[in-house]
Amino acid sequence: MTIDRQIVDSIERAGVDLVCSVPCNLLGAVMQLLDAGRVRHVPVTREEEGVGIAA
């Protein structure tokens, strides 16, 4: 199991149902796994957008 899969599994086990993310090369695989999984993933262009969506 990759570290990316472990991160997504941990997010899902914690009961998180929404993740907002700013584009990042280091987290690209995590974002792809989130898009394919049960957690709703919303890409944003600024951190402030993510805070507003999550509120």
pLDDT at 48: 96
**Confidence at 46, pLDDT banded by 50, 70, 90:** very high
pLDDT at 34: 94
pLDDT at 39: 94
pLDDT at 27: 92
- Segments forming the whole domain that contains residue 31: 3-54
Number of domains in the chain: 1
Rounded to whole angstroms, how far apart are CA atoms 44 and 55? Answer: 14
**pLDDT tens sequence across 2-44:** 999 999 999 999 999 999 999 999 999 999 999 999 999 999 9
